[in-house]
Chains A and B, each alone.
Chain A
Amino acid sequence: MLLYENKKAKLMNFLKLGLNPFKKFVSTGEIEEESDFVKSRKNLLESLKETIERDENFIFPVIGDVGTGKTHLFWALKNKLYYHNTIYISLEKVSNKFFYNTYSEFVEAIGVEPLRNIVNQLCNEWGALERRFGFFHVVDIEKVRKAAFEKLSTKFEPSERSALIDIINGITTHQLDPYKKIEAEGWLLGELMNVRELSRLSLMHDLRNSKTAFTMLKLMIENSKLGTVIFIDDFEKVITMIKPIEEGKDLEDIEEVFDPKWLYGNKPRPETIVSEKVIHKILKLNQIKGLRIIITLNSLSSLEEIKKIIHDIDTDSIIKFMEPVFLREFDADDTLEFYQNNMRIFLENIKFVETYEESFDKFFPLNEKILRNIHKNAKGNPREIIKILIKIFNQIMFSDEKLEEIVLSYEEAY
């Protein structure tokens, strides 16, 4: 039986192995964030959740400085919204082939099985499970396709009808033709296909085709049992892409190598065209019934600018912009809570038997004074706080100095 264990020494040994509790200071849409939101931000999260559950077809701006945790908000929201598909979109990644890439992100977020359930449910609604003589399912694919087209054609614009036919063919083949099911599933998951593969499935396009991808996305979102939230990070990119070089500003000031006018004359730059296209597509996306869009921005002025750009591009568009919410910097207590949360998760991950609170003084191996100093030095910016913590822990892990000496030096340094 173990009578006594020096838990502090045990934790220090773990740290000396090179395991840093604070690893990354930039959150991304790909790698899940485990740490929870600090208490002062929970109200913001709750109000966002309530709006999402109560309302639909809106754009919800979240405003916060660089490093305040806007991307982290996505993960907090994803973990909170059990009855919604929450999809992260980075404009940089999706601006080319917007709908195709957005659809791919949608499929990745919901998973293959729910996607199969949606198409199965659609086929049933189109009469695929009709029973002859009360018992026998006689699959008449053409009849199902006809019923599907009659049901859906009014919901789509005439220009989207050929895409709709493709989608009905793809879905019915996937559900009702066991001999082509595997190929049809590839198509459904967004696999790129050649003409021969497409003609075997009686299809014109794969989902790279913009209209096909949009129609598919619309059908899936509107028929998913869960609501859908699209989280567009760094929406400001739209402005930086669209804005030409400001008049009166020197090229040297904005670090451009050449003036784009030398190449394009008075014609719009390719970036401007791409940006306008992205806005058009987001406006189109907003028409999908039941969709909620959250955008993140660095400042309120950017939001006003975006509203103006949208108005200039499409004067007829009616977009419901919700009142923006602001992500503020951490206060000192938030910093302490954030540190403790991270240490707790770290101990859980390394399978440290006891919980953090039971085993250590409040902020071991650091102390409250250091943490308050860090907060002051980083001006409450979460990213800057993490950067400093990484630096301190690296020193604890890799230097030959004693912990007391390091702690003392940081108490004095900040």
Chain B
Amino acid sequence: MSVVNSNILYDSLKEIKTEGEFLGSIITKCNDEDNSIIFSDNIKISNLEGIYINDGLKVGFEIISNKKSAYSKKENYHWDEDFSEIDYCVLIPSEIMQLYDEGQFSDAFPFTLNLLHTSGLYLHDFDFEINHLEFFKGEILKNPVSKILNGIIVADRVVIDYRGDSVFYDCLIVGRDKHENLNVSYEPLMNVNDKVVEYIIILGIEELKI
């Protein structure tokens, strides 16, 4: 299922800015060096007050002790006038979220691994490469978030197959097409070659509970 140009709240490339207060499932992609992503259930966009996210979860990488580490931070985010830090901001349609919800609690995968703290599974970076795909081969990991070329995948679980490629299950995909238009889609299963993956972060269950 795919929805084109629907519920786009902000798009820096197409100069879209929809004013208002929005509730639901919102993905905000940042324009920073590490392509970090903010997940939130609310956003307020206005010409006067700028863009405000209350209690968002920012996911990305940061350098600690000369090494890149994945993080997820719960914070309030506010941009007054300069929105250059934001690439786009999309409200996922409720019918797609319903499909995503229905894919949860699958009986077929009872033995999934929940990581307690957010960790990087894979990072394609010349200086700070991370690759734990081999280690987790055959395992099912819960709550992966991935940046792939022009898109973002948020899935319920990811399995590393025998080739070392990641297979995402119950995934929401947000990305730009060849005309740079934003698309939102749902796929029950998606096989991704690790060559196109920029990063995969596994969200820690304890950090989600906070």
Contacts and interface: CB of A to CB of B under 8 A. Distances in A.
B107 A178 contact: yes
Contacts of A137: 101, 104-105
Given A140-B209, A176-B105, A178-B105, A133 B41 contact: yes
Which of A137, A140, A175, A179 counts the most chain B CB atoms within 10 A?
A: A137
Nearest to A178: B110
Interface string A160-188: 00000000000000011011010000000
A151 interface: no
Interface string B147-169: 00000001000000000000000
Interface residues of B, number: 27
A179 B41 CA distance: 30
Contacts of A138: 205, 208-209
Interface string B73-105: 010000000000000000010000000010011
A134 B24 contact: yes
A267 interface: no
Interface residues of A, number: 15
Among the interface residues A175, A176, A178, A179, which one has the most CB atoms of the partner chain B within 10 A?
Answer: A178
A276 B134 CA distance: 69
A186 to B, nearest CB: 14
Contacts of A175: 105
Nearest to A180: B110
B39 A136 contact: yes
A155 interface: no
Interface string B31-57: 000000001111000000000000111
A135 B154 contact: yes
B9 interface: no
B141 interface: no
Interface centre among A129, A135, A179, A181 (most CB of B within 10 A): A135
Nearest to A123: B105
A129 B110 contact: no
Contacts of A132: 57, 208-209
Interface in B3-53: 24-26, 39-42
B182 interface: no
Given A133-B55, A136-B143, A138-B208, A181 B107 contact: yes
Contacts of B112: 178
A129 B100 CA distance: 11
A121 to B, nearest CB: 12
B201 interface: no
A178 B41 CA distance: 27
B205 A134 contact: no
A116 to B, nearest CB: 10
B70 interface: no
Interface string A113-153: 00000000000000001011111111010000000000000
Contacts of A140: 209
Interface in A70-107: none
Contacts of A134: 24-26, 39-42, 92
Nearest to B101: A129
Given A133-B57, A135-B25, A136-B39, A181 B110 contact: yes
B110 A135 contact: no
A175 B55 CA distance: 28
B173 interface: no
A135 B101 contact: no
Contacts of B154: 135
A135 B57 CA distance: 10
Given A131-B41, A175-B105, A178-B105, A136 B110 contact: no
B19 to A, nearest CB: 20
A251 B165 CA distance: 85
B133 interface: no
Contacts of A181: 107, 110
B203 interface: yes
A179 B110 contact: yes
Contact of B40 (A133, A178, A179): A133
A293 to B, nearest CB: 36
A140 B42 CA distance: 22
A133 B24 CA distance: 9
Nearest to B203: A136
Contacts of A176: 105
Nearest to A129: B101
Nearest to A138: B208
Nearest to A177: B110
Contacts of B203: 136
B97 to A, nearest CB: 8
A133 B57 CA distance: 6
A303 B146 CA distance: 70
22 contacts: A129-B104, A131-B41, A132-B209, A133-B39, A133-B40, A133-B41, A133-B57, A133-B208, A134-B26, A134-B40, A134-B41, A134-B92, A136-B39, A136-B203, A137-B104, A137-B105, A138-B209, A176-B105, A178-B105, A178-B109, A178-B111, A181-B110
Interface of A: 129, 131-138, 140, 175-176, 178-179, 181
4 closest A-B pairs (Cβ-Cβ)? A134-B41, A178-B110, A134-B25, A133-B57
Given A132-B208, A134-B40, 18 more contacts: A131-B25, A132-B57, A132-B209, A133-B39, A133-B208, A134-B24, A134-B25, A134-B41, A134-B42, A134-B92, A135-B154, A136-B39, A136-B143, A138-B208, A140-B209, A175-B105, A178-B107, A178-B109
